[in-house]
Structure 1
Amino acid sequence: MRKPPYLIGPMESLTGPHLTTAIVGPARSGKTTVGQNWLLQSVETDPADFLVYAQTDEVLKAYVKAEIEPMISLHAGMASRLGRKPKDRSIEFKRFAGMWVQFLSATYNNLTNKSAPRIIITELDACDPSGEDTYALADIRRQTFGRDSMVLAESHPDAAASLNPKGWDAGIMKLYRDSDRRTWWWPCPHCNAFSSPTPGAEREMVLNYDENAPLDEIEAHAVLICPSCGGLIEDSWRRTMNRDGLWVAAGQRIGEDGAVSGTPVPSDIAGFWITGLMSPFMIGGTGGLAREIVRTKRDFEATGDDAEHRAVIVKRLGVP
Structure 2
Amino acid sequence: MLDDFGPLPPYADPRVALRLALPAWRPAEKISVTEAAEKYMRVNVSGQWQPFRRDVTPYMVEPSDMIASRSYRGLAFCGPSQSGKTQMLQSALAYTICADPGRVALFQMTREAAAEFERNKLAPMVRNSPDLRARQASGRGADNIYHKLFTGGTQLTIDWPTITKLSSATMRLVLGTDYDHFPESIDGEGDAYSLMRARARTYLSRGMVVVESSPGAPLRDESWRARTPHDCPPVNYGVLALYPHGTRGRWYWPCPSCGALFEPTHKRLVYPESGDPMEAGEAARMRCPHCRETFGHELKRELNAAGRWLHESGEADAEGRPQLVPIDSGRVRRTDMLSYWLDGTAAAFSSWKELVTMYRQAIVTFEATGDEEKLKTVMNTGFAQPHFPRSAGSEMEVTVQGLRDKARGVDLPRGVAPSWARYVTVSVDVQGTRFAVGVTAWGQDGQHMPIDRFDIFSMPGAEAERLLKPFEQAEDWAALEPLAERSWPVEGTEVRLRAVALAIDMHGGGATTDNAYRFYRGRRRAGQGERWFLTRGEGGLNRADRVWLKAPESASQKARRRRVAKDIQILHMATDRLKDAVMASLRAEAGHVNACLIGEWMEDDHLTEFTAERRGDKGWSKRPGMVRNESLDHLVQARALHIHKRGETINWAAPPLWAQLGAENPFLVRSEAKDTARTDAPAGAEVKGAEPAEPRTAPPKAPWSGAPGRGGWIRKGKGWL
TM-score w.r.t. structure 2 length? 0.42
Q: How much has 1:176 moved relative to structure 2?
A: 0.6
Structure 1 residue 130: deviation in Å?
3.3
| 1:54 matches 2:108 | yes
1:75 alignment counterpart: 129
Q: Decide which of 253, 272, 279 is 1:186's aligned counterpart.
A: 253
1:139 Cα deviation (Å)?
1.3
Deviation per residue, 1:253-305 (Å, 9 max, x gap): 459xx9x98821111111111111111111xx101100111111221122121
Residue 360 (structure 2) pairs with residue 302 (structure 1): no
Partner of 1:20: 74
* 8 Å Cα contact 2:280/2:357 also seen in 1: yes
Q: Please state if 1:122 is matched with 2:180.
A: no
Cross-structure match for 1:148 = 206
SS of structure 2 residue aligned to 1:21? strand
**Equivalent residue for 1:7?**
60
Matched, 1:102 2:157: yes
CA distance in 2, matches of 1:43, 1:106: 23
- How far apart are the structure 1 equivalents of 2:141 and 2:62? 35
The answer to whether the aligner puts 1:240 opposite 2:240 as a matched pair is no
- For 2:330 and 2:290, the matched residues in 1 are separated by 22
How far did 1:135 drift?
Answer: 0.8
Match of 1:159 in 2: 217
**Cα distance in 2 between the residues matched to 1:160 and 1:270:** 23
Q: Paired residue for 1:176?
A: 243
8 A Cα contact 2:104 2:174, kept in partner = yes
> How big is the shift at 1:136?
1.3
1:227 aligned partner: 289
Q: 1:318 aligns with which of 375, 384, 391?
A: 384
CA separation of 1:225 and 1:102: change in aligned 2, threshold 3 A:
same
Q: Tell me the equivalent position of 2:191.
A: 133
- The Cα shift of 1:168 comes to 3.2
Residue 103 of structure 1, CA deviation: 0.2
* Structure 1 position 215, deviation (Å): 1.4
Q: Which moved more, 1:264-273 or 1:125-134?
A: 125-134
* Greater helix proportion: 1
In the alignment, does 2:83 pair up with 1:37? no
- The aligned counterpart of 1:268 is 336
How far did residue 5 of structure 1 move?
0.5
SS at match of 1:270: strand
Q: Given the alignment of the two structures, is residue 207 of structure 1 paired with residue 273 of structure 2, yes or no?
A: no
1:171 maps to amino acid: G
Q: Is the 8 A contact 1:160 1:170 kept in 2?
A: no
Q: Which has the larger radius of gyration?
A: 2
Pairwise CA RMSD of aligned residues?
Answer: 2.1
2:81 partner SS = coil
Cα 1:316–1:266 shift into 2, 3 Å: same
Over 3 Å counting, the alpha-carbon distance change for 1:70 and 1:248 in structure 2 is same
| C-alpha distance in structure 2 between counterparts of 1:121 and 1:44, whole Å | 21
- Name the structure, 1 or 2, with higher relative contact order (CA <8 Å, separation 6+): 1
The superposition leaves residues 29-82 of structure 1 with CA deviations (integer Å, 9 ceiling, x where unpaired) of 101111100110111110010111011111111111111111111222211111
- Secondary structure (helix, strand or coil) at the match of 2:312 reads coil
1:278 aligns with: 346
Unaligned 5+ residue runs, structure 2?
A: 1-52, 225-231, 314-321, 387-721
* SS in structure 1 of the partner of residue 212 of structure 2: strand
> C-alpha distance in 1, partners of 2:296/2:139?
53
Unaligned segments of structure 1, at least 5 residues: 200-204
Shift in CA distance, 308/34, structure 1 to aligned 2, threshold 3 Å? same
Contact kept, 8 Å, 1:160 with 1:171, in 2: the verdict is no
- Give the whole-Å Cα distance in 1 for the aligned partners of 2:174 and 2:181: 17
Q: Which residue of 1 aligns with 2:521?
A: none
Q: Is the 8 A contact 2:312 2:324 kept in 1?
A: no
Post-superposition shift, 1:198?
Answer: 4.7
**Equivalent residue number for residue 202 of structure 1:** none
CA contact (8 A) 1:26 1:314 kept: yes
Aligned-partner Cα distance in 1 for 2:216–2:111:
20
Cα distance, 1:27 vs. partner?
A: 0.5
What is the identity percentage for the equivalent residue pairs of Structure 1 and Structure 2?
25
**Which residue in the other structure is 1:90 paired with?**
144
Q: Deviation at 1:4?
A: 1.1
What SS does structure 2 have at the residue aligned with 1:8? helix
Secondary structure at 1:313 match in 2:
helix
Rounded Cα–Cα distance in structure 2 between residues aligned with 1:276 and 1:86 = 44
**Residues of 1 paired with 2:330 and 2:74: CA distance?**
22
Q: Does 1:293 align with 2:359?
A: yes
Q: Tell me the SS of whatever aligns to 2:68.
A: coil
CA distance in 2, matches of 1:99, 1:196: 39
